């Protein structure tokens, strides 16, 4: 099945979790990715919330695969800030390999945040956001 942002926004939380569990980690990405927050998945609010978050808060991530780091593109101006270490490790969702975006040693602001991503189609990743061990939201990255 081909996935795009609209498809992910229409999926339920269970469908997103199942897709994540069924997907491979893929290679650690490199370069700039457009990000979309998936909040209230499968509801009529999901697309509107994603647009607001994109416009005012978070626009995506810029990966440096060689150095194992990324920066988030934030604010309406797309500033690159909030650094994370990037490496492969076990997912907190199912214990299988994923790409971990770890802010614990690189950010005072996002110290308790951990993201996990998996490749769902070429150049397209589905992600999970954790605060401590609690799951918050999903997101996707389009390269």
Tell me the average pLDDT of the chain. Answer: 94
CA angle 24, 133, 83 (to 5 degrees): 70
How far is the CA of 46 from the CAs of 39, 52, 72, 97, in angstroms? 6, 10, 21, 28
Kindly report, residue by residue over 49-85, the tens digit of the pLDDT.
888 888 778 999 999 999 999 999 998 788 899 999 9
Q: Can you give the pLDDT at residue 1?
A: 76
Q: Can you give the pLDDT at residue 84?
A: 97
Say how many domains are in the chain: 1
Question: What's the pTM value of the predicted model, to 2 decimals?
Answer: 0.94
- Per DSSP, which regions of the chain are E strands? 31-38, 58-64, 69-74, 79-90, 97-102, 113-121, 124-131, 134-142
For position 30, which CATH number holds? 2.40.160
Closest CA to 92 of 120, 61, 114: 114
CA angle 98, 104, 107 (to 5 degrees): 120
117 vs 109, higher pLDDT: 117
Residue 125 belongs to what domain range? 5-142
């Amino acid at each position: 099945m081909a996935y795009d942002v609209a498809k992910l926004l229409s999926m339920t939380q269970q469908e997103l979790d199942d897709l994540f569990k069924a997907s491979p980690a893929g290679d650690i990405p490199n370069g700039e990715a457009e990000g979309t927050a998936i909040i209230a998945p499968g509801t009529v609010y999901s697309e509107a919330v994603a647009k607001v978050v994109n416009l005012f808060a978070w626009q995506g991530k810029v990966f440096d695969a060689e150095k194992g780091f990324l920066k988030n593109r934030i604010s309406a101006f797309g500033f690159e800030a909030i650094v994370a270490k990037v490496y492969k490790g076990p997912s907190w969702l199912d214990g299988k390999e994923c790409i971990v975006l770890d802010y614990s040693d690189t950010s005072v602001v996002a110290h308790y945040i951990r993201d996990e991503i998996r490749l769902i189609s070429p150049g397209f990743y589905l992600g999970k956001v954790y605060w401590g061990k609690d799951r918050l939201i999903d997101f996707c990255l389009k390269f």
